[in-house]
Structure 1
Amino acid sequence: MQHNDVDDIGVYVDNISQYLLDIDASDEKLGQLMDGLTVRKVVTDYLRYFVVFALKRLQVHINVVKNEHFQEFVDEEFIDEDIKTIGYCLVCPTDRQEFMKDCFIEAGIIEEFEAVYRLSFVIEAVAIAHCQLSRDRNETGIQNNQDYFVLDVGDISIGIAKVHTASTESLSTVTGISDDITQGSINLDIKFEDYLTENLTALNLDNSLINQFVQTFSKKMKYEFNMYAPTQIAISQDDIDGNPIGFTYEDLDRIVLKPFIESIAKFVSKANETRGHSRDKGKLKYHRSIIEHSLGMVSSGAVSSILNAYKSQTPFSLYNKHRFSFSDRRLSLPEIVSEESTNDNDGNDAYDLIVGIDFGSCFSGCSYVQLKDKNGKPVGTKKIKTIKTGWPGGHLNNFGKTPTLLVYEKNRKPKYWSEEAKLVAKRRKNSILGNFKLFLCSKYLENTDDLEKLQEQGGVLDDGTPKNKVDVVRIIADYLKFLKNHVVEYIVTKEMVESFTFYNRSKLLKKYKIKYVITVPAMWNSVARNSMVKAAVEATLIEKNEVDQLLIISEPEAAALFCMKRRTEYFEKEDEKLNDTNFIVCDAGGGTVDLVTFNLQLNKEEGDTPTTKQMIFQIGDGVGDICGSTCLDVGFQNYLREFYKSFGVDVDKENAFLDDVMNDFVKNYKLGFMPNLQGNSYYDINLPGNGIRNFTSNSTYSMTNANRTLKMKNQVMKEKIFDPVVDRIFYLIDDQLNQAKKVDRRIDAILMVGGFSQSRYLQQRIKDRYKGVCHVNFPTEGVEAISYGAVSYALNPRTISRTTATQSLGLEVQAPFEKILPDSSKRRVKGPNGDWNFEKDRIEYFVKRGQILKGEQQTVYQKDAYVLYPNAAVIGTYIHCTLPRVMQK
């Protein structure tokens, strides 16, 4: 209900939390509205309804419904019984926590004796601090081992929390320093009202006009105040006699804003001094950051603050006893089931074909290998083949890959794909969908400008739904389904000699068992990869219960495997000299550019006899950025937009207006561009329609052909379109070279693969920049490298023996120290010269051979020395011991 819906049938009470500022005054105000109405009654009634409503919402939350541990809660009836297994954390100023506890009890949410363990409180600054700690530190900018102040300015209070950051959220500490219920932003309204009341006669106002002024200030000015035009009237209305009276921004700053901000500054300074941080009197040097408030920030932080209060949050095992953080919980562990490992050629024996899919932002490709013939018998020679022809729109596509494009019908069903989608969209003026792969990249999603540019290129449907990740999964699934059906039909027809008809097509598409391998950018995180798996399930590449059968490999890894087949040529080394070769793979595609450094080694047989079996190891951290060839399209389109804008033409409303021009750029200029050293050559850009009618000779642009052809300088094309993108690629390559330099690692070669690597200008710039640094090669088959390498990986995953983890998961377990361990009686351990007796065991730990421990213990193990621990057992390269004492010979 809204305020006007109530009329005279009841009392409408809103902004309830503001009544907590002055409870006595609020009781008086509420009592005037309705006899017997108090702040306690309003808050209690609200909590009574709100908590039940929240729990009902929680009961149907998908994550709760699907979790077997919450079935009792999901089935609970909300009648007169409350849920005893739920704890609450209330974000509340310190001075009102006792009052709110009484309201919780009076509302029947908890019993009085339960309050100590079922109801917790935090101030808002503490909650926000915990929320920030729980977020990705790439987003928050929080650094390890630093101290931060979190200042929260709320409606009725302000508060400060101190954060000391550690490597993880659970190891970091948050301390509430202080809060003040008298200094919230409601004081802005109060200060303005006080000023108007004090000057009531001079301003010719009455109480009702003062209330109007304050309400207008609170609704329209309070949170949008600025000093861009200090002397401009900010707020005005008529006085008692109907004469206008107004306040400038400068007036409001002097009367209201400046005193309020000064009071906050004093509050911060005082907190800083009490925490021992005031080293330079009056000079506080801070890195300041404004946290954008989100809907769930405070409540989420409140939950985190409670979770962090438990020293041990995870079930663990100690001496075969399973412990749990909560005293009333015991963990029941699942029964251990042993499985026998089988060697079945990496699981390929169950498949007829392996298909590698290079799903790209602009183009997608496919390679495959046949494992069995039409009758199910294993084939002799397993030869990897790449599909280069037969794509939709065949004779128009000589790239060897197919465009990643879709066209939907009005009923939201996918209708056309690939080159055919482009032809249909042009003929029928349909909206074409492309570049949707980029929406799974976190870097792209964080950049609003890039999203808008993507949309301009046909990156979303008319209603913008693909901005939602779920819809992007659906779109990718629709495209993959088209691709899969086409590829299967192509392979089955060519290799299995099957004949497709209208009646048997559906059956043949399902007849053969196929293992799929999909390549993804190295910069993708686990969320993006998981979305790709979901899309593969929706596209029917795999069944939902077979997700472990889908292989995913990064594009640079796949490219590295491809390059190994021509290793002598690409690295300019003989086979016998290839061992310990370090090389950078730069996969420059349409949307992203990914780089990873690898080490190529020749595997060793027994006795360290060199062989020709190659193994590659990722070394260092991979890097990536959205600086593929699509960025050239964006740069060129922006150039045309600025050109038209200079003549008063807005092309943003007519994207199709530039379609032919953009197609001409992609087809004729993008890959073949090379700057003219003379600097006076031009590119002819044929404009649509009648060109520019109001062109004047004093323009910075040049035109011919009755102003229908724009002459773009070769140097402008280089500096505005190509160089910004190429420079970003240089930054990525330099990053890999610098990583190697820091550890004195030699880089032998840079291998450029992907569609963008075929750009003549990019090739020339890279050759010039890294001449003398290392060998640079551009494989002519670079376009097919990714899908080929994906199939190679499925045939022999062990070729890639190690990668660098992009994410690390750590677990802290804290448990009470127990001095007495099981089986701690005195034992005799036979040493090299006889028997030694040892006292009672006290502590248990592992020490690595050759390791030196410092502190209370001296050298524990020295190279070539014989060390014996009481009750010690050698486990691999570790010694397991139970006494902090060493006997050594």
Structure 2
Amino acid sequence: MPGRQVVAAIDFGTTYSGYAYAYYSEFRSDPLKIYAYTRWSNEANLQTIKTPTTILFNKDRNFDSFGYEAEMKYEKLSAEDTHTGWRYFRRFKMKLYENEKRLRKNLKLYDDQGNHMPAVEVFGAAIRYLKDHALMQIRHRASDFHDTDIDWVLTVPAIWEDGAKQFMTLAANTAGIPTDQLMLAYEPEAAAIYCQHLTLPSSMHNGTDYVETNPMSKFLIVDLGGGTVDIAAYEMQDKGFISSLSSPSGGPWGGTVVDQEFRSFLESLFGKIVLDDMCTLHSLEMDHAIEATKRAMAKSKEDVMFKPPPVFDGINSMADVRTIRDRIVIGNNVFTKMFTTPIEKITDHVTTLLKDPILQGVKTILLVGGFAESDIIQNAMKDKFSHRYNVIIPEEAGLAILKGAVIYGQNPCVVVTRRLAFSYGISIDVPFDDTTHPVERRFIRNGKEMCENVFDVFVKKGDVVTPGVITVQRELKVPHIGATDIRVDVYKSGEDCIPTFITQCKKVGELFFALQAPSTTEQVLIKVQMSFGGTRVLVGAQEVNQPWNCVTAEFDWLM
């Protein structure tokens, strides 16, 4: 943005998080000159490209540590039996998806001890840690660098609802990132933006020399994260711009599903009591053993050894599972079955999407995200789709979203259009029509028959919208003379056929207007302008008759 020097992106994931940054001055000559911090170290001093999304607060609810440091600190406290009262949260991003139907500003998160904290404080502290870590790295290059010199980009799943996006904005504000320095980037969009800058050799897919990046070529992004899978289709435009072909879709089919299957397998192997003891007494060791086994199996077709914590004295008999001293040998076929659920969910969903006429002409399927680095997932997708499509896994698939978010922050206009996943509107009363309106919705106002609770549609599901462009305009009256504000309930529907009444929709928020100079003689008429094309819905308003009077307008999705 004008006057700023750097754009930095935070990829806040369910299982792992990280950041990257770039300088505006270098972007034109080399859009891929991106500095991603990839030197996170665990207790074994092994470096990873991201750090676990794990955070620890002390007994006074003050921030203590994040990532590997939080894991090691809490493990030490647990070993010394001094952890009681500390608050340890991991993989908490999924709580926004799980609670999206009832997400509120006062959402609380609970740790394994039953302690709770306001979710916005937990998310805010995590973002603040990553923000401060990034600033420290940036200042190593330019010591006179100021907080106001930077634009921040925060990645979010495209399938998230508006409330979750507003929540992340509030958390970023809590972390010290002002709204005017913050952009949200949809994860599959960021990946699409990054991949169009790559030259992908034929060894990465199945035959063609390069991915088509010429105008009008179409491709599908499958973002395989730890918690959710985000899928969207795009079309290349001139000069590297992209347009959305489909509304984003997906579900909770990420890598943590395999973790859950693995734990169920271990429960069958050891019994619930022994497994609970392992998870309680050796939580970090168990997590790392599971992760190491997953990674080893994902890169091999051979049996894999799992070394559990030293509290088991035997296992239940199970086919293709045996012990060698203090290790358990798991047959490849046993472990592969743990991927069955996410593979079926993902491949079935992609198959359904590709039947949509609007996606005819798609030739490429790009797999990105940390879960995309699993050979088991890659092979399943290739087995299912490579006979008709180029199935591509770019190098550093786990960093594609992060680096793409940096590029997006440099030029948000690269996304030309988006396609809406929902219809949005408000409730209005209209003159009663006995040929279309049910009699139970009829009422009398000022001697006229009216019909109540009609869904007045602002935008429709599937509409193509342009970021930064006014999508819809409305004129609304304040409820009475002298009123200082208006609150209008906002509803949405995911149905292809637009509902007639709001009772067939879901209330998702409020449209709020505050008048600086309310009239004492008439009901003020307000002109409202809304833009649904960005990653956040924007609204502006002014008085029709006295446009110089200030009117504050905003959407609130977290009532």
* TM-score normalised over the length of structure 1: 0.43
Name the counterpart of 2:531.
Answer: none
Q: Deviations over 1:360-417 (max 9, x none)?
A: 11111222122369xxxx9987764132334465983533222211111111111011
Aligned to 2:127: 480
Cα distance, 1:692–1:753 mapped onto 2, change above 3 Å: same
Does 2:110 correspond to 1:489?
A: no
CA shift, 1:631, in A, is 1.6
In structure 1, the residue matched to 2:307 is: 686
Q: How does 1:750-761 map to 2 (within 5 A)?
A: 750-761=365-376
Partner of 2:430: 814
SS of 2:245 mapped into structure 1:
strand
The equivalent of 2:188 in structure 1 is 556
User: Contact conserved, 1:597 with 1:618, CA < 8 A, in 2?
Assistant: yes
**Residue 654 of structure 1: CA displacement?**
4.8
1:662 matches 2:283 = no
CA distance in 1, matches of 2:217, 2:95: 36
What is the identity, as a one-letter code, of the residue corresponding to 2:21? Y
Alignment partner, residue 501 of structure 1: none
1:433–1:671 CA distance, 2 compared to 1 (3 A): farther
Q: 1:588 aligns with which of 184, 199, 224?
A: 224
Q: Give the deviation of 1:700 after TM superposition.
A: 5.8
Shift of 1:814: 3.1
1:437 is aligned to 93
The separation in 2 between residues aligned to 1:692 and 1:701, in whole angstroms, is: 19
Q: Report how far residue 743 of structure 1 moved.
A: 4.3
Measure, in 1, the Cα distance between the counterparts of 2:296 and 2:35: 22
Cα distance in 2 for residues equivalent to 1:576 and 1:689: 53
**Counterpart-to-counterpart distance in 1, 2:131 and 2:229:** 25
Is 1:737–2:354 an aligned residue pair? yes
**How far apart in 2 are the matches of 1:574 and 1:683?**
35
Deviation at residue 615 of structure 1 after TM alignment: 1.9
Map of 1:644 onto structure 2 = 270
The reply to whether residue 725 of structure 1 matches residue 342 of structure 2 is yes
Residues 744 and 660 (structure 1 numbering): CA distance in 2 closer, same or farther, change over 3 Å? closer
Alpha-carbon distance change, 464 to 736 in structure 1, aligned in 2, over 3 angstroms:
farther
For the residues of structure 2 that align with 1:392 and 1:699, how far apart are their CA atoms? 36
Structure 1 residues 640 and 563: CA distance shift in structure 2, 3 A: same
Report how far residue 806 of structure 1 moved: 2.3
| CA distances 1:275-299 after superposition (whole Å, capped 9, x unpaired) | xxxxxxxxxxxxxxxxxxxxxxxxx
SS at match of 1:731: helix
Return the alpha-carbon distance in structure 2 between the equivalents of residues 565 and 531 of structure 1: 31
Instruction: Find 1:772's aligned residue among 384, 387, 396.
Output: 387
CA pair 752-401 structure 1, distance change in 2 beyond 3 A: same
Secondary structure in 1 matching 2:7: strand
Q: C-alpha displacement at 1:601, in angstroms?
A: 2.1
**Deviations for 1:572-619, whole angstroms, at most 9, x for unmatched residues?**
5779972211100111111111110111122xxxxxxxxxx1221111
Write out aligned runs for 1:522-601 (5 A). Answer: 522-542=158-178, 547-566=179-198, 569=201, 572=208, 578-601=214-237
**1:863-882 matches, cutoff 5 A:** none
Unmatched segments (≥5 aa) in structure 2: 103-108, 434-559
Contact 2:297/2:332 (<8 A) preserved = no
Partner residue, 1:418: 67
| Partner Cα distance (2:359, 2:60) in 1 | 60
RMSD: 3.4
Once the 2 structures are TM-superposed, how far is the Cα of residue 533 of structure 1 from its aligned partner?
Answer: 0.5
CA spacing shift, 1:464–1:619, aligned 2, 3 Å? farther
Residues 806, 703 of structure 1: alpha-carbon distance in 2 compared, 3 angstrom cutoff: same
Query: Contact 1:433 / 1:460 at 8 angstroms: preserved in 2?
Result: yes
Distance 2:318 2:51 in 1: 41
Measure how far apart 1:766 and its partner are: 1.1
Structure 1 CA distance for aligned equivalents of residues 164 and 365 of structure 2: 27
Q: Which amino acid aligns with 1:476?
A: F
Once the two structures are superposed, residues 261-287 of structure 1 have per-residue CA deviations (whole angstroms, 9 ceiling, x without a partner) of xxxxxxxxxxxxxxxxxxxxxxxxxxx
Alignment of 1:329-368 (within 5 A): 348-368=1-21
Equivalent of 2:329 in 701, 711, 724? 711
Q: Aligned partners of 1:748 and 1:576: how far apart in 2?
A: 8
Q: Give the match's secondary structure for 1:420.
A: helix
Corresponding residue pairs, total: 417
| Aligned mates of 1:591, 1:624 — CA distance in 2 | 11
* 8 Å contact kept, 1:520–1:554: yes
Gaps (5+ residues) in structure 1? 1-347, 447-454, 499-507, 603-612, 818-889
Partners of 2:370 and 2:359 in 1: how far apart? 32
**1:760/1:816 CA distance change after superposition, 3 Å:** closer
- Cα 1:528–1:557 change in 2 (3 A) is same
Against the structure 1 CA distance between its residues 415 and 813, is the aligned structure 2 distance closer, same or farther, given a 3 Å change threshold?
same
Q: How does 1:396-415 map to 2 (within 5 A)?
A: 396-415=45-64
Specify whether residues 705 and 491 from structure 1 end up closer, same or farther in structure 2 by C-alpha distance, changes over 3 A only: same
- 8 Å CA contact 1:355–1:517 kept in 2: the answer is yes
Code of the residue aligned with 1:729 in structure 2: it is I
Which protein has the bigger strand share?
A: 2
Q: CA deviation at 1:464?
A: 4.3
Ranked by relative contact order (alpha carbons within 8 Å, sequence separation 6 or more), the top structure is 2
Compute the TM-score of the two structures, normalised by the length of structure 2: 0.67
Structure 1: distance between partners of 2:72 and 2:130: 17
Partner SS state of residue 651, structure 1: helix
Higher CA-based Rg: 1
Determine which structure has the larger helix proportion and give its number. 1
In 2, the alpha carbon distance for the partners of 1:717 and 1:379 equals 47
Aligned residue type for 2:341: P
CA offset at residue 443 of structure 1?
Answer: 6.6
Aligned 1:844-855 pairs, distance under 5 A: none
**Matching residue's letter, 1:560:** A
- Percent of aligned positions that are identical: 23
Code of the residue aligned with 2:168 in structure 1: it is M
Deviation at 1:350, TM superposition (A): 2.5
